[in-house]
Structure 1
């Protein structure tokens, strides 16, 4: 009971890199055990990187930070190398979610189960629907967006999509943070229309016909466009004045021939 008042100010959670449900035991973690709420994270070491796995071992995050500091100041070159490898792991996984961790997380979560996902000192409500993971959207900017309820969790780069309460893809154009007004207000609808026109204009600036093409088809199309451009420029180049005609004083074009009916002697000036 002494832990419950602390929930308003945050929880002390320290992950271990060995499993999606592995955390260093703290009094705060006992709350999840008492309530029967699964607590997950996705910050795991890839087993295909044996050096990183050996450097991290079964340590928690706080223990790993202490190890890095100790190893970097050691006189043993092996310990220094191990510390640098561990430090590189933390830097390259600063998002606190790895692809190996995401795969393990998808396998560990149960279908339809409500759980808590910990990442970057934030706790999110997570569920699994049809073998896909979703996080409950709690950002204040989406407060007026009735069609935005869940956010997909399918990669480590943050490239996600929003869904409604039935896990159907949301097509709301005004779903970004900072959206104002009700869903039926004329001002909001006007803003949505303007945003749509801007998005359509930016899409039209991209090369047409390049979407969905293979590398070979794209190369052939670019080659054909280049050939057409050369054909369009070639007639202009053939009409350019000949360098040999720069010295003529008559009004005839440089490429025009003189009539041959007159003898060449008529052209001699005395």
Structure 2
């Protein structure tokens, strides 16, 4: 694992400090967890957390194995400080080596997550894990989606509905499943980026001002903070690694169209913020660069949105084809093929 490294960037947020910037694989759970710890450190933090801060502050890039070792030391110290059960700690330690590859987390459409060791991992580091993939009670799909509540359960309903639709005669239960599946498909189509306007407002209302959390969105993870009743995401894309003042990006819309960049003190980075006595060409160049930065941010978000929508569509199509093949095999009267365990390597940072 030593060949995997994370580059660092120096920012000014409550003093000078380094954070991790994303590598070519995108912002994974480990990346956002570490940054959240780095931003919440204070004089009351354990010596193990201060060791992590010292490690990241001392180098331009940090090997993965050193990060994992620091996290292991931190969670072991937390066990003593907070009385975490040995079983809970052991499950967290077993997950750490895979943290940079992805987690199997199941979001629920009421703003929570299905219980699991992965969810406990964040809790054991005292870092909240949140999401904004909520269904609005005023939407027509509300009843059908909340009946099953979680992403995994909703996917199972879509599979069941496909099988039911093949039946020549359908009873009332079958018709109800089909109706529910249509509502779920409608909700998925309108929230393919795994964030809704209702969910964004939910985060604003429920996060504590000044608090740091990890946001699950679009099958990725991001470090966020609530400031003045708005949500800001830590700018960690490698394209902004040389832009030292670009530290936060406001999360004002689900597609990024209204988002803006801010400094570490949450001062907006404005296009007209140049000195009026500066050379006009410098002013024009800066405005042009800032427009390019905004365009880059929009492009990054649009690419992630498109990838997420395609992933959702591919999952649904794959399950439908699988069940169609199974049904055809049953109708032909042939023997069932033995189940083959999926041996494909998980895509990094993908949560299914």
With the length of structure 1 as denominator, give the TM-score of the two structures.
0.62
Work out the CA distance in 2 between the residues paired with 1:157 and 1:136. 16
RMSD over aligned Cα atoms: 2.4
Once the two structures are TM-superposed, the CA of residue 172 in structure 1 deviates from its matched residue by 6.2
Kept in 2, the 8 Å contact 1:99–1:156? The answer is yes
Match of 2:113 among 18, 23, 34: 23
Work out the CA distance in 1 between the residues paired with 2:229 and 2:195. 18
Match of 1:136 among 224, 234, 253: 234
Residue number in structure 2 paired with 1:165: 264
Work out the CA distance in 2 between the residues paired with 1:45 and 1:195. 39
Once the two structures are TM-superposed, the CA of residue 38 in structure 1 deviates from its matched residue by 0.8
Match of 1:52 among 141, 145, 167: 141
Number of residue-to-residue matches in the alignment: 181
| Secondary structure at the counterpart of residue 141 of structure 2 | helix
Kept in 1, the 8 Å contact 2:144–2:184? The answer is yes
Inter-CA distance 72–131: structure 2 relative to 1 (3 Å threshold):
same
Higher relative contact order (CA 8 A, sep 6+): 2
Does the alignment pair 1:192 with 2:295? no
Kept in 1, the 8 Å contact 2:107–2:150? The answer is yes
Match of 2:161 among 64, 67, 71: 71
Higher fraction of helix: 2
Does the alignment pair 1:6 with 2:105? no
Residue number in structure 2 paired with 1:119: 217
Show structure 1 runs of 5+ residues with no match.
Answer: 174-188, 200-270
Residue number in structure 2 paired with 1:33: 123
| Secondary structure at the counterpart of residue 94 of structure 1 | coil
1:144-155 to structure 2, matched below 5 A, reads 144-155=242-253
> Looking at CA atoms only, which structure, 1 or 2, has the larger radius of gyration?
1
